[in-house]
Structure 1
Amino acid sequence: MAIDIRTLGKTGLDVSEQGLGCMGMTFGYGEADATEARATIDRALELGVTLLDTADMYGPYTNEELIGRAVAGRRDRVVLASKVGNEVVDGKLTWRVNGRPDYIRRSIEGTLRRLGTDHLDLYYLHRVDPEVEVEETFGALAELVQAGLVRHLGISEAGPATIRRAHAVHPLTAVQTEYSLFTRDVEVNGVLETVRELGIGFVAYSPLGRGFLTGTIRDTSDIPEGIDFRRIAPRFKDENIRQNLPVVDQLSDLAAVTGTTVSRLALAWVLSRGEDVVAIPGTKRRRYLEENVSASDLTLSPDVLAAIDSIAPYGVTAGNRYPDAEMAALNR
């Protein structure tokens, strides 16, 4: 297994073409297992994964703390990316977006402390605050760069106009948005076109459709009990699962013909979208990490790419990826 290095943006942040989305290790996807999560991070570094992706809201705070412990003594081997903007007050999520400069300045201190570092390699605005001009927010983020606390800036789930406005304040290194065979919005809403015009890297989260594109989810009983985001996600309601399964089954058949698995096929497809695209599949288990990393060895032929497009074109998926309130916070 070999992971290539790709460069995000004109500012030149070199990262592994696959990073590791760490959210599910402590937040959003069922019960946590700190021992296996730590072992997964260790294995990722062994396999050449350099980019670790987290956020202060994951936990809250526990995700950054886990990563801080895991990279202690080897900070120079990793690219640490975190996010700010989903408001946390007194250790609790408010489920509000906060892009005020004073909140940005306060938040970086805790993030650096929890990660055990004096700087972040990449700091994203997690969601755009509709009540704060993005120029104000990125003015505060630019101050963090000037102070040496952050090396590169990014933005998550923003629309083309907002990306341009933020980039005009301080050059963006990365735009992070959900992108997979089940979520191809960025191909048609101008986001990919905009980042390529401006020379910004693109980071694809949930490239396996939150597990749907692994072929392991057939109905809601396959989603772990307890606190798992997918239990409230419209796309994972039984009626939508039933509509989406034929797409997964056709992709699985295509994968079998090409001698691979559907998850490797789906992840290799994301990586094939361009040298400016980096994927951050999330997992908290070593066995899934290793399968994900092996997708970097898979080259898809033009015929296979054409077959994939015919099976999973834009708009094929039933059900929104978030509940209505969260959908309203996207593409601002």
Structure 2
Amino acid sequence: MKVQPLGKSELEVSEIAFGCMSLPENSQEAEVIIDEAVSLGINYFDTADLYGHGKNEELVGRALKKHRDRIVLATKVGNEWSPETGDVSWNPTKSYITGQVKESLRRLGTDTIDLYQLHGGMIEDNAEETVEAFEQLKREGLIRAYGISSIRPNVIRRFLDMSAIDSNMMQYSLLDRRPEELLDEIHAAGVSVVTRGTLAKGLLTGEALERAALQDGYLSYSKDELFGTLKELLSVHSNLHALALHSVLSHDAVTSVVAGASSRQQLRDTIQAYKTPVSAEQITEAKSLTKADRYDKHRD
């Protein structure tokens, strides 16, 4: 498994990261999957305080305890939930971030979070206060690096201009190419793109046509467009899973693809796809068959 530097930080992360949100809630089952992920060369594990209202962090912390010195542990903050009602509200304030990090550290069973990410963001936020919180946590040694998880061009550009973020997580796939207008800009700033949704809810896997038949479409693709595009992509490469991963990883800005797995077989399928050769010509052809959409909101 190839590793890449994460932004300007000292962290090096595997090109396939493990998205922990889809882990089974059973601790033993989760531990088996995570152990196999580590054995297959994955060193980057991503969770969030919001997942299961903290329960996912606890699960991940227990499963990764014996691997802690060999892995990069990432989590996210900004979504505050009510213990009484479970209602979630957005809270990017310094007081919340500097308080919540201690809860994440406790749940994860670790002294330091390797990558702490703002789990969203709006242009109306006081970004200066948010950055101040992250910088304070770095000075205190509670986090090693920080980033954001945002698809909003105006939010991304703001953080590129006024912070020392090392990463931005974005939904990016052959069926959602909206991030491409920003990739060169992010890369030029020395920031890594970490992708999510790269398999497009399973539409870019071995179950592509079966899943497409059950959906009304995907983003700007109508049902018929989706089905037709997937058939054309299959003519480019018989392994859509591999084509999906390598098409995203082909851009210099992209450091890692976060892929979830709720079973060992799903994990193995992703690693096998990662190891499957895909040519530059196939990637170019695949992109010629898909829409190069742009974000139509959050631009100013």
Same fold, judged at TM 0.5 (above) = yes
Tell me if structure 1 keeps the 8 A contact 2:14–2:44.
yes
Is 1:9 the counterpart of 2:7? The answer is yes
**2:237 is the counterpart of 1:255:** yes
User: In the TM superposition, what whole-angstrom CA distance separates every residue of 1:209-262 from its partner, at most 9, and x where no partner exists?
Assistant: 121111425358969xxxxxxxxx9838xx944441222222223222xxxx21
SS in structure 2 opposite 1:315?
coil
Give deviations 1:132-155, integer Å, cap 9, x for gaps: 311111111111111100000101
Change (3 A) 1:219 1:78: closer
Cα distance in 2 between the residues matched to 1:296 and 1:142? 35
Matched, 1:20 2:13: no
Question: Which stretches in structure 2 are left out of the alignment for 5+ residues?
Answer: none
- Matched-pair contact (CA < 8 Å) for 2:7–2:190: yes
Could you give the per-residue CA deviations for residues 3-48 of structure 1, whole angstroms, max 9, x where no partner exists? 101111122320111100111225xxxxx55443322111000011
Distance 2:27 2:224 in 1: 34
Amino acid in the other structure paired with 1:25: L
Distance 1:131 1:8, change over 3 A: same
The aligned counterpart of 1:178 is: 171
Q: Which moved more, 1:42-51 or 1:306-315?
A: 306-315
Partner letter of residue 148 of structure 2?
I
- Confirm or deny that 1:292 pairs with 2:270: yes
Report the secondary structure of 1:213's partner residue: coil
SS in 1 for 2:114: strand
Tell me whether 1:197 sits opposite 2:188 in the alignment: yes
Taking the aligned partners of 1:127 and 1:221, their CA distance within structure 2 comes to 31
Counterpart AA for 2:48: A
Contact 2:150 2:156 in 1 (8 A): no
Q: 5 Å matches for 1:151-230?
A: 151-188=144-181, 191-216=182-207, 218=210
Residue of 249, 261, 279 corresponding to 2:257:
279
- The verdict on how the C-alpha distance between 1:220 and 1:207 changes in structure 2, with shifts beyond 3 A counting, is closer
Give RMSD over aligned pairs: 2.8
Provide, for residues 180-211 of structure 1, a one-character-per-residue CA deviation record: whole Å limited to 9, x for no partner. Answer: 111111112xx313211211011011111121
CA distance in 2 between counterparts of 1:213 and 1:55 reads: 25
What SS is found at the alignment partner of 1:72?
A: helix
CA change 1:268–1:91 in 2 (3 A) is farther
Separation of aligned partners in 1, 2:84 and 2:35: 27
Q: Could you tell me the TM-score, scaled by structure 1's length?
A: 0.81
Aligned pair partner of 2:228 in 241, 246, 270: 246
- 1:56 paired with 2:49, answer yes
**Per-residue deviation at 1:73?**
2.5
Point out where structure 1 has 5 or more consecutive residues left out of the alignment: 27-31, 224-232, 321-326
Q: Please state whether the residue corresponding to 2:75 is helix, strand or coil.
A: strand
Q: Which moved more, 1:214-223 or 1:295-304?
A: 214-223
What is the CA-CA distance between 1:284 and the residue it aligns to?
A: 1.4
CA distance in 1, matches of 2:105, 2:93: 19
Select 2:88's aligned residue among 84, 89, 95. Answer: 95
Number of corresponding residues? 299
Q: 1:37 aligns with which of 25, 30, 34?
A: 30
Q: Which amino acid aligns with 1:247?
A: T
Contact (CA 8 Å) 2:172, 2:198: kept in 1 or not? yes
Kindly tell me: are residues 93 and 249 of structure 1, through their superposed partners in 2, closer, same or farther at Cα, counting changes over 3 Å? farther
Q: 1:213 touches 1:266 (CA, 8 Å); kept in 2?
A: yes
Partner residue, 1:235: 218
C-alpha change, 1:154 and 1:92, in structure 2 (3 Å) is farther
1: CA distance between counterparts of 2:84 and 2:5?
35
Query: CA contact under 8 A between 2:76 and 2:119: conserved in structure 1?
Result: yes
For 2:67, give the aligned amino acid.
R
User: Match of 1:56, SS?
Assistant: coil
Instruction: Give the superposition deviation at 1:72.
Output: 1.3
